[in-house]
């Protein structure tokens, strides 16, 4: 039983880590998009 709980905890941490990394990457991409938009809108 402890082995299963440890494996579950490990896989859960891996999923959380991947999702948080994906969220950070999307946030960076959105920020870069706004930055490029603000430069191109400038007359």
pLDDT surpasses 90 at 1: no
- The terminus-to-terminus CA distance of the chain in angstroms comes to 66
Question: What pLDDT is attached to residue 12?
Answer: 94
pLDDT surpasses 90 at 36: no
pTM of the model: 0.55
Q: Where do the domains of the chain lie?
A: 1-37
DSSP 43: -
pLDDT surpasses 70 at 27: yes
pLDDT surpasses 70 at 6: yes
Rounded Cα–Cα distance for residues 8 and 23 (Å): 22
Q: Mean pLDDT score of the chain, rounded to an integer?
A: 88
Question: What pLDDT is attached to residue 18?
Answer: 95
């Amino acid at each position: 039983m402890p082995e299963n709980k440890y494996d579950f905890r490990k896989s859960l941490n891996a999923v959380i880590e991947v999702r948080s990394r994906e969220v950070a990457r999307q946030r960076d991409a959105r920020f870069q998009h706004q930055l490029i938009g603000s430069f191109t809108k400038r007359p």
